[in-house]
Amino acid sequence: MFHKEGYKIIVITFIFVVISALLVDNFVGVYWLRMLLLLLIVAFLIIILQFFRNPKRNTVLNEKQVVSPVDGKVVVIEEVFEKEFFNEKRLQVSVFMSPINVHVTRYPIGGNVIFSKYHPGKFLVAWHPKASEENERTTVVVENETYGKVLFRQIAGALAKRIVNYAKVGDAVVQGTDSGFIKFGSRVDLFLPLDTKIKVALNQKVRGGESIIAELNE
């Protein structure tokens, strides 16, 4: 299954691949070179297809837990001052996505969208310390009665040239469902209450919609 954000690019890629393969087959006479070029063309197609894949995830709905919004690797777990919405200290957990990860962004908790904002910006590498404040990004806050408010921020990386955000203020959303898409490499930051119990470790690989990032510390 492929994500709807990739349909146009996939169609264009198929057309490009077919035309390129025909040209190579008809005009490249050297056998080994023709085979090499055809393999490169097929590899390019496979890369595009895998990037826009949208695998089904089995999210176990739980209002006391925060699931990972994306696939990737945990690169930050620290206490920070979040100044865009909360204006107070929160626990930040950041997940970095490489170009080979699934790039669908999913809602970490269910509830109501109470804040959603797009910020144009730069395209620094996603792990740059200033990326979360200077790169193109979107900020979304979801609230439910059990867990409270969770902010998650999609951040474009050096290769990401478009962030798609479906969240609109007032939406009632379901944990684990699609909230957006980031094209070609990026990261997502989560900002959680200070008393939350973190369930992941640095450098741990996580799966969007399934891996538990945090839960209420009862």
- Cα–Cα distance for residue pair 101/83, rounded to 1 Å: 29
Query: What confidence tier does 5 reach under pLDDT thresholds 50, 70, 90?
Result: confident
Residue 169, pLDDT score: 97
Residue 128, pLDDT score: 60
Same domain, 35 and 134: no
What residues are paired with 111 via a beta bridge? 173
Same domain, 145 and 181: yes
Same domain, 12 and 120: no
Q: What is the pLDDT of residues 10-24, one digit of tens each?
A: 899 999 999 999 999
Same domain, 90 and 165: yes
Query: Is residue 36 helix, strand or coil?
Result: helix
Same domain, 70 and 136: yes
- Cα–Cα distance for residue pair 60/4, rounded to 1 Å: 24
Same domain, 10 and 87: no
Same domain, 86 and 36: no
Q: What is the pLDDT of residues 107-140, one digit of tens each?
A: 999 999 999 999 887 766 655 666 667 778 899 9
- CATH of residue 168's domain is 2.70.70.10
Domain annotation covers residue 57: no
Domain annotation covers residue 142: yes
Same domain, 32 and 80: no
Same domain, 37 and 74: no
Task: Check if 98 is active-site.
Answer: no
Number of domains in the chain: 2
Q: 2, exposed or middle or buried, with CB in 10 Å at 0-12, 13-18, 19+?
A: middle
Residue 121, pLDDT score: 74
Same domain, 83 and 186: yes
Domain annotation covers residue 60: no
Domain annotation covers residue 206: yes
Domain annotation covers residue 104: yes
Find the catalytic residue in 68, 116, 132, 186: 186
pLDDT at residue 193 above 90? yes
Give the CA distances from residue 23 to residues 12, 31, 39, 42, in Å, rounded to whole numbers and listed in that order: 17, 14, 14, 14
Same domain, 187 and 140: yes
Same domain, 103 and 78: yes
- Cα torsion 68, 74, 79, 82 to 10°: value is -60
Q: What is the pLDDT of residues 21-54, one digit of tens each?
A: 999 988 898 999 999 999 999 999 988 888 788 8
> Which structural domain, as residue segments, surrounds residue 45?
4-51
Domain annotation covers residue 59: no
Residue 184, pLDDT score: 65
Residue 191, pLDDT score: 97
Residue 129, pLDDT score: 60
Q: How far apart are the two ends of the chain, measured CA to CA in Å? A: 39
pLDDT at residue 202 above 60? yes
Domain annotation covers residue 122: yes
